């Protein structure tokens, strides 16, 4: 079936460098995308979202880019810090039947090297 | 802290048993979503309730059921438990059922271990 997937399962980054986490989605009907961060032993934490009528959105140290042509989503973290170490999930929100259901990718583990 | 609470934090039980997981959404949120997170399947959507009514079902087994009460807290009931049901169970809440703002805030999860 259709799913959201990730290109890289693990990513190691030097502290202070920028991180880029990628995600591919397959459902062209999805119109809302979210990035979540999950630290060990905790629930997913909302980072940033983007709607399909946008191609870029910036938050504090994070930027999400959406390329609908190739169904690709990326999360950029500027000046990566040790506290950014976590698993990052992209999720797509598929409209339908009066409910939005989040479909999650497998996740990418980000390790920040001090 | 997301404002979503879940109890218990850990649960260990035997195969064939039945358990109930509880979730209290953030104040003001009407929607509650349940997710299962296992090592091999990742985060899977189970079911969504809005203001007491079921709105959508995902990959939820027939042995599982849920409900949302008038005070908006929700319970996920898992019965005839199997070893494969061992997982983290998260609930999330949001304001709208299918509005334009669909940020879902996750609770800390319940870790279920079936032995």
CA distances from B67 to A102, B23, B55 (A): 19, 10, 11
Q: Any chain B CB within 8 A of the CB of A27?
A: no
Predicted confidence (pLDDT) per residue in A87-113, tens digit: 999 998 876 655 567 888 889 999 999
Q: Which of B56, B103, B108 sits opposite A99 (nearest CB)?
A: B56
Closest Cβ opposite residue A43 in set B2, B55, B103: B2
Q: Name the burial class of residue B101, with classes exposed (0-12), middle (13-18) and buried (19+) by CB atoms within 10 angstroms of its CB.
A: exposed
Range in A94-103, B22-31, B43-52 the model is least confident about: A94-103
Instruction: Give the tokens for residue A14.
Output: 């030097």
- CB pair distance less than 8 Å for B2 and A49: no
Name residues whose C-beta falls within 8 Å of residue A65's C-beta, 6 or more positions apart in sequence: A55, A56, A73, A74, A76
Contact B108/A at CB under 8 A: yes
Mean pLDDT across chain A, nearest whole number? 87
Q: Give the per-residue pLDDT at A7.
A: 45
Nearest to A102 among B50, B104, B108 (CB): B104
Question: In which band, very low, low, confident or very high, does the pLDDT at A5 lie, cut at 50, 70 and 90?
Answer: very low
Task: Return all residues near A112 (Cβ < 8 A) that are at least 6 apart.
Answer: A12, A13, A14, A15, A80, A81, A82, A83, A84, A85
Cβ–Cβ contact A53 with B under 8 A: no
Give A24-46 pLDDT, tens digit per residue: 988 888 888 999 999 988 999 99
pLDDT, tens digit, 9 for 90 and up, residues B69-107: 999 999 999 999 999 999 999 999 988 665 444 678 999
Per the model's pLDDT, the better-predicted residue between B89 and A6 turns out to be B89
Overall residue count recorded for chain A in this entry: 114
Q: Does B45 touch chain A (CB under 8 A)?
A: yes
């Amino acid at each position: 079936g259709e799913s959201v997937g990730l290109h890289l399962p693990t990513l190691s980054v030097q502290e202070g460098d920028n991180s880029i986490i990628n995600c591919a989605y397959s459902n062209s009907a999805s119109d809302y995308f979210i990035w979540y961060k999950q630290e060990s032993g905790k629930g997913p934490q909302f980072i940033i979202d983007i709607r399909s009528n946008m191609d870029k959105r910036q938050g504090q140290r994070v930027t999400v880019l959406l390329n609908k042509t190739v169904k690709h989503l990326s999360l950029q973290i500027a000046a990566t810090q040790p506290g950014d170490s976590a698993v990052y999930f992209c999720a797509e929100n598929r409209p339908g039947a009066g409910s939005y259901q989040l479909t999650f990718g497998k996740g990418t583990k980000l390790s920040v090297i001090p | 802290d997301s404002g979503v609470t879940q109890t218990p934090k850990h649960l260990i039980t035997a195969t064939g048993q039945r358990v109930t997981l509880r979730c209290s959404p953030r104040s003001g949120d009407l929607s509650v979503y349940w997710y299962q997170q296992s090592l091999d399947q990742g985060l899977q959507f189970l079911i969504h309730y809005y203001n007491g009514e079921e709105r959508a079902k995902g990959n939820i087994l027939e042995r599982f059921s849920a409900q949302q009460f008038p005070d908006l807290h929700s319970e996920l009931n898992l019965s005839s438990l199997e070893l494969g049901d061992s997982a983290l169970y998260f609930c999330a809440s949001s304001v709208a059922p299918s509005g334009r703002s669909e940020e879902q805030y996750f609770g800390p999860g319940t870790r279920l271990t079936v032995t």
